[in-house]
Amino acid sequence: MHSYPYTITISSEKGGVGKTTLATNLAIYLKAMREDLPVTLFSFDNHFTIDKMFELQKREEGVPDVHELLMGAKAREVVQTGQYGVGYIRSSTELGDIHERFKGPMSLTRMLAESGISGIVIIDTRPDLNILTQNALYAADRVLIPVKDLPSLENCKNIFALFDQRGIDKKSLALIPCLIDSRIKFDGIFKDQKTLLRAIAVNRGYRCLDTYISKSPKVESLNTNPDGKIYPILTHARGTEVHSQFMEISRDILRSFDATKETRACLYHTWLLEKEAHKKESYLARLEGLAERCLICGALLADHSDDRSFYFETSDRAARGFLHGYCVSKMLCSALYGLQEQDPSFDAAKALVAEKAARSVSLLLPRISSEESRLDYRQFSMNGEQLLQKNVDMPGFEAGEFNGIHDRLYLLLNEALAGFEGALRQESWLAVYPVDPVNPEAVLHEDSYRSVHRLQKLLSEAILTF
């Protein structure tokens, strides 16, 4: 079975609020509290704290990093097992050009969904709300937003606004008071820093964790070591309040991890697969409605070596199918120029007609009444701009007579537009589109088929204005 990660994003537009400390130590605590739970950590920041804390050996060249993950590398190629059993992805200084690829907000969710990573993923972000941070926010089952003072609390509103803008449920967002100095006391009802921050947060409708993280000189010192290492709180600051606070946060996270049946990555992936399945279904339905034969020569089209270079569809969508390239050009040669195969200029004319037809859409609109019997033939550019209009007399059409010159045209019109008892369907017309003969069915794929109908709409507007 495919596995999906439960994702935690640590985010704040302010630097120095304790994001990286929270992300890295949380990974270690989670792993320590549940040994068999895979925990994977990576950062969009370029300070390499994660690398310094988790790498087992000195930085080797050529080992893939976050950049490769974002370029679409498979998770198993980029995740390394690090210290304390925590999986980590190396940081990168080259995420600048990634922004181009990340136009959409859900790209990272998709990558994580398809990554096959299980357990918990923790993402440490940069102090901004760029497209990568946004992706990390939307991918998260939980977002932890460290706040240490009023300015950082003030900044939270941008994250909440982002979720509002996109109509995403904000229940994943929670503030956590960080770097709380217990020596600071206030007079009045808000007796200390954390109570004040929490009161303001709640007043603004932000959810706040029950736990907070104290400021501790011991914790601060873990970063500054002569050997350049960064030590974890779990192993090097056990005696501190911060240790029990991390235990509490981790228990809280594990509780929601256990209670989550379908993670964001899983839900998004399921939705994507359904959308794909739906697309495929409509495509198959479109394939099913196709005429089996070329309506001009009557030959079966099943043979793949066929030259299926045109797709036709009637204005009422009742008849659709492929036509042979040579059938279409022969038909146009005779209908438009009265030329037949035995004429000396036929081949040259056919080449010319074929070349034009391959670059434009042909519209065939029969105008049959007691006064007239003609074909309103038009050519349009692929943008729907009318290039040519020609009236073609259709002698004997109604009587069902064939005269050699117009046979192919009459056949096509009769086959595609026939209505009740032999008459043509009123007001119907048909359009003939050039398609790629190597893969004609591609025209029925979602996007191309949509552009066929955009053109079809422009054509019907053009008919109304003339």
- Closer to Mg ion by CB, 46 or 414: give it: 46
330's tokens: 């022969």
Q: Does 134 bind Mg ion (CB under 5 A)?
A: no
CA-to-CA distance for 214 and 18, rounded, in angstroms? 11
Stretch that binds Zn ion, among 93-101, 204-212, 240-248, 292-300 (CB under 5 A): 292-300
Q: What values do phi and psi take at 82, rounded to 5?
A: -115, -165
Stretch that binds ligand ADP, among 19-27, 198-206, 314-322, 427-435 (CB under 6 A): 19-27
Question: Binding string, 166-205, against ligand ADP, x = CB under 6 A?
Answer: -------------x--------------------------
HEC readout, the chain: CCCCCEEEEECCCCCCCCHHHHHHHHHHHHHHHCCCCCEEEEECCCCCHHHHHHCCCCCCCCCCEHHHHHCCCCHHHHCEECHHHCEECECCCCCCCHHHHCCCCCHHHHHHHHHCCCCEEEEECCCCCCHHHHHHHHHCCEEEEEECCHHHHHHHHHHHHHHHHHCCCHHHEEEEECCECCCCECCCCCCEHHHHHHHHHHHCCCCECCCCCECCHHHHHCCCCCCCCCCCHHHHCCCCHHHHHHHHHHHHHHHHHHHCCCCHHHHHHHHHHHHHHHHHHHHHHHHHCECCECCCCCCECCCCCCCEEEEEEECCCCCEEEEEHHHHHHHHHHHHHCCCCCCCCHHHHHHHHHHHHCCCEEEEEEEECCCCEEEEEEEECCCCCEEEEEEEECCCCCCCCCCCCCHHHHHHHHHHHECHHHCECCCCCEEEEECCCCCHHHHHCHHHHHHHHHHHHHHHHHHHHC
Min dist. Cβ of residue 262 to ligand ADP (A): 30
Q: Tokens 């993402």, residue?
A: 123
Stretch that binds ligand ADP, among 9-17, 31-39, 129-137, 430-438 (CB under 6 A): 9-17
Residue pair 390/379 in contact (Cβ under 8 Å)? The answer is no
Q: Does 296 bind Zn ion (CB under 5 A)?
A: yes
Q: Does 20 bind ligand ADP (CB under 6 A)?
A: yes
Min dist. Cβ of residue 6 to Zn ion (A): 58
- Closer to Zn ion by CB, 147 or 411: give it: 411
Q: Does 456 bind Mg ion (CB under 5 A)?
A: no
CA-to-CA distance for 274 and 289, rounded, in angstroms? 23
Q: Does 14 bind Mg ion (CB under 5 A)?
A: no
The interface with ligand ADP within residues 216-235 (CB under 6 A) comprises 216, 219-220, 223
Identify what 5 binds: Zn ion, Mg ion, ligand ADP, none; CB under 5 to 8 Å per kind: none
Q: Does 151 bind ligand ADP (CB under 6 A)?
A: no
Q: What is the dihedral of CA 417, 420, 422, 424, to 10 degrees?
A: -30
Min dist. Cβ of residue 299 to Zn ion (A): 5
52 strand-pairing partners: none
Q: Does 291 bind Zn ion (CB under 5 A)?
A: no
Identify what 294 binds: Mg ion, Zn ion, ligand ADP, none; CB under 5 to 8 Å per kind: Zn ion
CA-to-CA distance for 137 and 107, rounded, in angstroms? 11
43's tokens: 């950062």
CA-to-CA distance for 422 and 427, rounded, in angstroms? 15
- When binding is defined by CB under 6 A, the residue of 16, 289, 395, 419 that contacts ligand ADP is 16
Min dist. Cβ of residue 454 to Mg ion (A): 48
The interface with Zn ion within residues 390-419 (CB under 5 A) comprises none
Q: Does 9 bind Mg ion (CB under 5 A)?
A: no
Quick one: which of 341, 376, 375, 337 has its CA closest to 353?
337
Stretch that binds ligand ADP, among 32-40, 208-216, 278-286, 399-407 (CB under 6 A): 208-216
- Closer to Zn ion by CB, 210 or 347: give it: 347
The interface with Mg ion within residues 30-49 (CB under 5 A) comprises 45
Question: Closest residue to Mg ion, Cβ-based?
Answer: 20
Q: Does 331 bind Zn ion (CB under 5 A)?
A: no
Identify what 324 binds: Mg ion, Zn ion, ligand ADP, none; CB under 5 to 8 Å per kind: Zn ion
Q: Does 324 bind Zn ion (CB under 5 A)?
A: yes
Identify what 243 binds: Zn ion, Mg ion, ligand ADP, none; CB under 5 to 8 Å per kind: none
- Closer to Zn ion by CB, 233 or 327: give it: 327
Q: Does 31 bind ligand ADP (CB under 6 A)?
A: no
Identify what 33 binds: ligand ADP, Zn ion, Mg ion, none; CB under 5 to 8 Å per kind: none
Q: Does 20 bind Mg ion (CB under 5 A)?
A: yes
Q: Does 213 bind ligand ADP (CB under 6 A)?
A: yes
Stretch that binds Zn ion, among 90-98, 253-261, 296-304, 314-322 (CB under 5 A): 296-304
Min dist. Cβ of residue 213 to ligand ADP (A): 5
Interacting residue ranges for Zn ion, rule: CB under 5 A: 294, 296-297, 324, 327
Interacting residue ranges for Mg ion, rule: CB under 5 A: 19-20, 45
Interacting residue ranges for ligand ADP, rule: CB under 6 A: 15-21, 179, 213, 215-216, 219-220, 223, 242
